Structure 1
Amino acid sequence: MATDCDAIVIGGGHNGLVCACYLAKAGLKVLVLEKCSEIGGMTNTQEVTLPGFHTDTHAICIQFANFSPVPNELGLADYGFELLHPDPCWSHPFPKGRALTVYRDVDRTCESISRFSQKDAETWRRLYQEFLVQKDAIGASMNSPPSAAEPASPDQYRYAMQSLRSWCNETFEAKETKCLASAWGVHIGASPDDIGGGSVACLFSMVVQHFGNNVVRGGMRQLPLALAGYLEAHGGSIRLDSQVKCVLVEDGKAIGVELADGEQVLCKQLIASSAHPRQLVLDLLGEQQVGPSIAQKMRRYELGEPVMVVYLALDRPPEFAAGGDVNQSVYAHCSEPTLEYFLRAFSESRAGHLPAHPFALVCHDTAAEPSRAPAGKALMKLVVQPIPYRITGDAAGQITGHDWDSVKEAFADRVIDHLSKNYIPGLADSIAKRVVHSPCDIERLLPSAIEGTNTHGACWPYQFGAMRPIPELAGYRSPINNVYLCGSGSHPGPGVTMAPGRNAAQVIYGDLGIDFKS
């Protein structure tokens, strides 16, 4: 039980590694404990289907991380981190070969939108100009610990609380433009009528319009590898296959951790956890340490929507019915041109039913980087959401099973048939190999993805900012004064942002009396 490190970081996903890098930068001897056999978590790249097909297993694009100062501050380019900037940014195909496409050039985007509504094209341009005015403030807010918000004006409060339907109906006239923006709500599990969805859809749309849907050269795994390179160059270390069972606390202070195999690893100063906040509070610390009030609040902490992922190795590049630049889009949101399509899927899923017409985010890895698959081949990933974690029925009345292990292949057939029939003719015939990960599979592979969710907590207004995950833990501090949160369950939330890890490091620096800007 040697005390041979200053700080332990639980979890080797990108946020845990970011926090570890900043602690090492400050001169602390840092040990990262990762329960899996490789680092990365949801920022990873693997040959899931066939040899030579390198797919980003979860996150594929850099969006809000374009706000992050981390790559420059840590010099990640020196450790192999490089971005590609595919164009178009994303497309939204509709049935019968129609589509809207967003390009890096806002003029080209507006031209695409104008085919459905000239007024909407002008509105898009106005929204973009408003975003440019707010961009620096948005970045500063994301990359700082949350503070008590100033009282919002009635108009600001209304905008923050608006549903997708409310915001889209008052902002756009064409149903297609409404879908273009509102599909981003699915990424955070917001249906058309959930509060707060409108502002999120607007922000997502403008962030990607401005920065692009950037991709990490060589796969998303290069981000954690670059962070690991920096960490090790600054005296830090990583232990794989090291699952933490609990945090060891003496006299109100954490002194180390106990691993699942019984080994105890001690530290001199602090512990930072990028685990799901529910796991940190209820499993690693426990109610005896945090108290019954906080434990109860974490038990009711809402998880968000589960996902299913279908990985496809294709024997040829996909051809969308809409053709043209849609074929080169790294993202495609395929849907009927109506908000009711999304509402129906959410309603069915939240009732426990497999959706009759499932929505799938189509990630076309090889559109951004053809070398991720053998020459002439292609790689695609379908992120299916919303879906239920506990299945009580099938909205189409065709699938009879109620457990994911028995129904996932049949449901994946439905997803692929739906895409082949309406959006990507020939998709089913071009599949060389597919691998389906249900929400239960995802939870087994990544235990922090509780119930197959990928957001470390639902993104509702009452679980955001200074409310995330709960007010008592919103400043990255736990009830144990030298145990910190540094994962996506903290501000500013899920996705690849690098912000929770860096923000937690800022708080730790302050507690240790270290100047973060030095």
Structure 2
Amino acid sequence: MKNTFDAIVIGAGHNGLTCACFLARAGLKVLTLDQYHTVGGMATTEEITLPGFKSDLHAFGYQFANLSPVPQELNLSAYGFDLIWPDINYSHVFPDGGIISMHRSLEDTVQSIGHYSKRDGETWRRLAEQFVQQKDQIAAWMNSPPATLAAANVQRSQMPHGMDEYRFELQSLRSWTNEVFEAEETRLFIGALACHASIGPDDAGGAHLAWLFASLVQILGNRVVRGGMHNLPLALAEYLRSKGGQIRTGARVNKIVLKDDHAVAVRLSDGEEIAVSQLVVSNTDPRQVVVDFLGEEQLGSDLIQRMQRYEWGDAYFVIYLALDGPLTYRAGNDAARSAYVHPTPPTLGYLSRIYTECRAGMLPAAPMILMCNDSAIDPDRAPANKAVMKLIALNVPYEIRGDATGKIPGVTWDAVKEAYADHLIELITNTYVPNLRDRILKRVVHSPVDMERVFPSAVRGTITHGAFLPYQSGSLRPLPELGQYRTPVPNVYLCGSGSHPGGGISMAPGRNAAQVILGDLKGA
């Protein structure tokens, strides 16, 4: 078997492509493989409903990537990558028609919060300014391999308020928002962003994530990739090819082949083996690498067992919509101009009930729904005078054990998904968007099971390669033995969202893994 490639990257999602780009830029001959029909993974854009209606299948907002140096380092604008910064990043709407909006202008956001609490508005100004002061430090944390737990503890102990910071990192959303905000509406406005990572109001770590997410969006924007999120991985793919890298789609890996405890090839599901001379790096979820690609024979039963208890988080449920024109929100036009809309009652108790129902295996009666106004921000994604959007229920069970709606029989997603979609559309139409139901030209529904069928790394219908939990973060993500992008096999690496800093569009795991790999090659 002839060694053809220096490096093989498994998975052409945005992190896999980012890693491949830096390896190719360093002079390695790189092949990237993906089981899907195109590159991008969960950062793809497709006409899933009707021709001319371009839906981002999963990722829509470009947030943490605002802190990434990758677009500049790889000159991605030369390959068609461009961003739109909305005037309104997101809005939270309430059943009575009330609204708070995160405007591009901090002053406008302060005023919007001030309709419910002027004190909360000034508190938000202070919190956003705190992010500005810490932005460079946060970017360095995100775009570097994680410090070891021991090193992080030493660093924290040397900070003037290190123990306060440690408390904040572990604090729940409810605890923190009750401390700093007086209006329940403000608590929901800031706190609902933690739900994007399946963190409930009483989960550890929710406070820090909500502050970080909301502050980053306030200062740097909930930007959108012009023409669809797919244009980010497409730009990375073009850069990779410009450096001699190759990409094969429709090629699913089922084994990493070892010889003398080193990877020497990858085997595809059709039996083809592709030789590699230096290294293999995987952008898939960490379970596939540990359990499927390497396995107990290579890694031992202890690591396999601990990988099997890795926590994935709550599942997602998506409704893609082609609409016969823009929507009219009960809360007014600012909601229609927002990249995201969060529609909920103004209580943290509402969020608690959702997570209780979801984690008990129940179909939540009124899940937290993220409304993505794709074409309101990027009109070219839909035909003239039409609209495209998606609704994401952020907290549903993967395995159904009951029904909190009281009207949907069945315990398999294939049996209940359309009825559940009917229920959610009815809920939004009756409470928040009166013309939603009548505007729908076509819808396509993806249950958690559908998501996993399309993208195997969407394990149990999740999209972050593992739950955001204190014991699955930093150098502990996904497991301590794998927390520096390395595996026990010396030339097999991880570069996906199952590694620091985690899920979402950031390009950080891919870039960080490339730093580690190139450092190892230099020191070899």
TM-score, normalised on structure 1? 0.98
Shift in Å, 1:107: 0.2
AA in 1 matched with 2:183? A
Report the CA distance between 1:400 and its aligned residue. 1.0
Is the aligned partner of 1:259 residue 2:262?
Answer: no
Instruction: Kindly tell me the number of residue pairs found equivalent between the two proteins.
Output: 515
Q: SS where residue 332 of structure 1 aligns?
A: strand
Q: Which residue pairs with 1:378 in the alignment?
A: 387
Deviations 1:424-451 (A, max 9, x none): 1110111000000000000000011111
SS at match of 2:400: coil
Q: Which ranges of structure 2 fall in alignment gaps of 5 or more residues? A: 157-161
Q: Pick one of 163, 174, 181 that aligns with 1:154.
A: 163
**Counterpart-to-counterpart distance in 1, 2:405 and 2:77:** 49
The answer on 1:302 being equivalent to 2:305 is no
Determine the structure 1 residue equivalent to 2:232: 223
> Partners in 1 of 2:63 and 2:233 — Cα distance?
16
SS at match of 1:150: helix
Q: Is structure 2 residue 424 aligned with structure 1 residue 415?
A: yes
Per-residue CA distance 1:149-182 (angstroms, 9 max, x = gap): 1343321221111101000000100000000011
Q: Are positions 1:112 and 2:112 aligned together?
A: yes
Paired letter, 1:342: L
In the aligned structure 2, how far is the partner of 1:178 from the partner of 1:365? 26
Q: Does 1:478 align with 2:481?
A: no
Distance in 1, matches of 2:333 and 2:448, equals 34
Asked if 1:454 corresponds to 2:454, the answer is no
Q: Distance in 2 between matches of 1:35 and 1:380?
A: 27
Q: 1:429 aligns with which of 431, 438, 447?
A: 438
Instruction: Output the amino acid matched with 1:268.
Output: S
- Map 1:101-500; keep pairs closer than 5 Å: 101-148=101-148, 149-151=152-154, 152=156, 153-500=162-509
Which structure 1 segments of 5+ residues have no match? none
SS at match of 1:89: strand
Alpha-carbon distance between aligned partners in 1 of 2:458 and 2:520, rounded to the nearest angstrom: 30
Deviation of 1:103 (Å): 0.6
Return structure 1 stretches of 4+ with deviation > 4 angstroms.
none
Following the alignment from structure 2 to structure 1, what is the Cα–Cα distance between the partners of residues 450 and 42? 14
Identity rate, percent: 54
Range moving further from structure 2, 2-11 or 62-71:
2-11
Alignment of 1:494-509 (within 5 A): 494-509=503-518
CA distance in 1, matches of 2:111, 2:40: 39
Superposed displacement of residue 358, structure 1:
2.0
Deviation at 1:514, TM superposition (A): 7.8
Instruction: State how far apart, in whole Å, the 2-side matches of 1:136 and 1:157 are.
Output: 19
- For residues 248 and 429 of structure 1, the distance between their equivalents in structure 2, rounded to whole angstroms, comes to 54
3-state SS, counterpart of residue 513 of structure 1: helix
Query: How far apart in 1 are the matches of 2:403 and 2:186?
Result: 30
2:159 aligns with none
Q: Give the root-mean-square deviation of aligned CA atoms.
A: 1.0
Residue 305 of structure 1: CA displacement? 1.0
Query: How does 1:89-100 map onto structure 2 within 5 Å?
Result: 89-100=89-100
* Code of the aligned partner of 2:141: S
Per-residue deviation, residues 228-269 of structure 1 (Å, max 9, x unmatched): 100001000001111111000000110011110011100110
Secondary structure of the equivalent of 1:6? strand
Counterparts of 1:444 and 1:321, CA distance in 2: 36
